[in-house]
Amino acid sequence: MSVGFIGAGQLAHALVKGFTAAGVIATHRITASSPDTDLPTVSGLRRMGVNLTTSNKETVSKSDVLFLAVKPHIIPFVLDEIGPDIEDRHLIISCAAGVTISSIEKKLLQYRPTPKVMRCMTNTPVVVREGATVYATGTHAEVEDGKLLEQLMASVGYCTEVEEDLIDAVTGLSGSGPAYGAAKMLLDSEQHPGQLKDNVCSPGGATIHALHVLESGGFRSLLINAVEASCIRTRELQFLADQERISPAAIKKTTLDKVLQQPGVTVSRSEL
């Protein structure tokens, strides 16, 4: 089996690193194409021993499994370019957010009567084999194709099949918000947390829009205030606990007084 990546950005780099660490495929059997040879991820793939090219057609010719790892708006142009070169042996796996299987099949049906297409959503913790992946199967993809994709993606984390209409929800939850995997990446990668955040934020993509909402709502200051409030309250409780003559009722009243001091807070007698 040979694997190709059209697009050599953060996702391709993370998947290659995860696949090779898991031992499911050797780097000399992986080809990746990118028009920009100066990308840091391209340099990283080169150091790992991946075959690199600027030609998408070359990637197709050298691959059995083909990951489409480009931005969603690039997909139609890529399909028009590689469509004539797709053969029966090829399994096309799209990682582009929001691009449906039917839209890919419609493009490829101009060139092949039964293109094998699958769609998956994963996240960058695959680099430390703690990713979360869901996938959906196209009209012409077979059971064995699903097993092959699961073999690859399960080697770098959790993987399961879902109905395609659930993938968009996973994009917001898993693709844009990895939790444990992100913590492990922080420990293993030696990169600054801000850099890890930027790695998963494609310009104009789903994740950067989610971050915009968080920033607009004052998410960072809210987190800081929450930690600070918890710290202050912990010290207050410790002080109260040290005063042997203060009863639990007094501690409860102190807590209530603090709450009532907050703007807009009212408590009825029945709630006391």
| Sign for the pseudo-dihedral over CA of 164, 165, 169, 171 | positive
Tokens linked to 68 = 């489409």
Q: Is 115 annotated as ligand-binding?
A: no
Distance, CA of 74 to CA of 173 (rounded, Å): 23
Q: Which is it for strands 91-94 and 51-53: parallel, antiparallel or unpaired? A: unpaired
Q: Is 71 annotated as ligand-binding?
A: yes
Q: Is 123 annotated as ligand-binding?
A: no
Nearest C-alpha neighbor of 176 from the set 223, 121, 257, 128: 121
Nearest C-alpha neighbor of 125 from the set 188, 42, 192, 211: 188
Q: Is 217 annotated as ligand-binding?
A: no
Strands of the sheet with 30-33, listed across from one edge? 51-53, 30-33, 3-6, 65-68, 91-94, 116-121, 131-137, 157-161
Q: Is 69 annotated as ligand-binding?
A: yes
- Report the SS3 class of residue 26: coil
Q: Is 70 annotated as ligand-binding?
A: yes
Cα→Cα distances 250→230, 237, 242, Å:
20, 11, 13
For residue 135, count other CB atoms closer than 10 A to its CB. 24
Distance, CA of 32 to CA of 67 (rounded, Å): 9
Q: Is 186 annotated as ligand-binding?
A: no
Q: Is 7 annotated as ligand-binding?
A: yes
Q: Is 231 annotated as ligand-binding?
A: no
Distance, CA of 82 to CA of 11 (rounded, Å): 20
Mark residue 218 as left, alpha or beta (left: phi above 0; alpha: psi -120 to 50; beta: remaining).
left
Q: Is 132 annotated as ligand-binding?
A: no
Q: Is 201 annotated as ligand-binding?
A: no
Q: Is 268 annotated as ligand-binding?
A: no
Q: Is 34 annotated as ligand-binding?
A: yes
Q: Is 94 annotated as ligand-binding?
A: no
Q: Is 6 annotated as ligand-binding?
A: yes
Binding annotation: 6-11, 34, 56, 69-72, 95-97
Binding annotation for NADPH: 56
Binding annotation for NADP(+): 6-11, 34, 69-72, 95-97
